[in-house]
Structure 1
C-alpha cells in the first residue's frame, strides 16, 4: 500500500531566509554539516525518538560527489559508509517526487535559492515512505560549489520501524 502524506511541503526560498529553515554554519573543508539543533528539535517534537535526521552534501565541483551522515544511509536503507553516486541515490525517489526534486534543484542552482520538498522514496529493503528534503546552495564568490542540507522522514509515513 502506498503511504499517504497528510500535508506535503514544496517550496523554494531565497538564501537570505536560510536561518528560518536551518543554520548551516561555516563548513569550509568539513565532511558533514554542523549540528542543526532547531530542525532536530522540531523533528523530535513531531515524533520523539523516532525520526532519524540526516545531514548531506552534494559537491557540484567534484562530479556531484555525495557526503552523507549515518542517518541518511538509514533513511535510504543502504549500509552506512557505502559509496553511493547521485544517480544511484536519485533512483530511490518515486517518479513524481524525483521530477519535482530535480526541477527545484536546478532552480536552486540557477537562482541561488534554497528549497524544502517532501518526496516519496522507495528505500532498499524497506517500504515506500515520505522524506522531507531541505537544501541550500553554498556559494563561493560568484559560483555555487555545493548543495547541502537535511533529510528526515515525515512522521507517520514510514511504517512501524520509524
Structure 2
C-alpha cells in the first residue's frame, strides 16, 4: 500500500513546473502517435505515455502502459477495461479528478492502486492534462508511472 497517496489539481499554465516529465513531453495538439518521446527510456523507469480522445474515449498507449495494466500490447483497449482494473477508491478519485480536469481545463496528478489483468496489485502515479482547441478540451494526455518499485 502507498502510505502517502498524491492527489493534486493544477492549472495548465503550470504543467511544466508541476510535471517533471513535461520537458520531454509534446504538449501540443499533435496526434498521440506523433509524441516526440523516447518511450523505451521511459519504460525502463516504469513510465508509460497515454492519450485519450475525448470525442470517443479511444485510448492510445505506449507499450509500458500495456505492461503496467497487464494487458497484451498493441491491442485496442476500450476505456472501460483499464477503468475496471482500478481499485474502487482509486477509480472513484480518478474519475472525479478527470471530470474536474476536463470541465475546468486543469491538469492533475494522482496516485492510484490498480489490479493488473495478469494479477497482483501496484500503485501508479497518474499525471494528466487536457489538450484544448479554442479553449475546449479535446484530448487528455499524460503519463502513468509505477511507484510500487524503486527504479533509481
| Superposition TM-score, scaled by structure 1 size | 0.81
Please list, as runs of the form range in 1=range in 2, the aligned pairs for 1:107-118 lying within 5 A after superposition: 107-118=100-111
**1:109 alignment partner, SS class:** helix
Q: How big is each residue's C-alpha offset from its partner over 1:46-76, in whole Å with a ceiling of 9 and x where there is no partner?
A: xxx5x32100000012x10000000000000
1:31 equivalent to 2:33? Answer yes
Please list, as runs of the form range in 1=range in 2, the aligned pairs for 1:77-92 lying within 5 A after superposition: 77-92=70-85
Structure 1 residue 36 displacement after superposition: 7.4
From 101, 124, 127, give the equivalent of 2:120. Answer: 127
| Count of matched residue pairs | 143
Which segment is superposed worse, 103-112 or 23-32? Answer: 23-32
1:13 equivalent to 2:7? Answer no
Structure 1 residue 116 displacement after superposition: 0.2
User: What root-mean-square deviation, in Å, do the aligned CA atoms of Structure 1 and Structure 2 show?
Assistant: 2.0
* Matched residue, 1:160: none
- The structure 1 segments of at least 4 consecutive aligned residues displaced by more than 4 Å after TM superposition are none
Contact 1:27 1:34 in 2 (8 A): no
- Aligned equivalents of 2:34 and 2:145: distance in 1? 15
Contact 1:32 1:57 in 2 (8 A): no
* Structure 1: runs of 5 or more not aligned: 158-162
* Structure 2: runs of 5 or more not aligned: none
**2:68 alignment partner, SS class:** helix
* Matched residue, 1:70: 63
| Superposition TM-score, scaled by structure 2 size | 0.86
